[in-house]
Structure 1
């Protein structure tokens, strides 16, 4: 037990909120890179489309997991 939590509880928390925080940080980084490189509207759209597909996979994992446990 670490701080009164089991390893499973800590792993679940950080896999949920840690990965979500990492995705938000990546949005900031990619937006900053697109702005610095002057990628334009289409280039920025393509960059964020790639990040969005990964984010959809992250959300789909939770939906599928919830559906299977139901």
Structure 2
């Protein structure tokens, strides 16, 4: 395995772990604030939209190459 391959894999794994942790933080924030179903939905839409945009960018880059 070359250095470039290792860096690419570790980047993707690290970002996946970070995004999963951020979704857990959003869930926990909604749970602790007693936001309800609609409040949790709004939290996930508002705070999770940036992460979804990043994932869409990765998929677009992959398919355009």
Same topology, TM > 0.5? yes
Q: 1:63 maps to what in 2?
A: 59
Query: When the two structures are aligned, how many residues end up with a matched partner?
Result: 65
The root-mean-square deviation of aligned C-alpha atoms, in Å, is 1.8
Contact 2:23 2:48 in 1 (8 A): no
Question: Which ranges of 4 or more aligned residues in structure 1 deviate by more than 3 Å?
Answer: none
| Larger RCO of the pair (alpha carbons < 8 Å, separation 6+) | 2
Contact 2:27 2:40 in 1 (8 A): yes
User: In the alignment, which of 15, 22, 32 is matched to residue 36 of structure 1?
Assistant: 32
Q: 1:15 maps to what in 2?
A: 11
Length-normalised TM-score, structure 1: 0.72
Between the aligned partners of 1:39 and 1:22, the Cα distance in structure 2 is 23
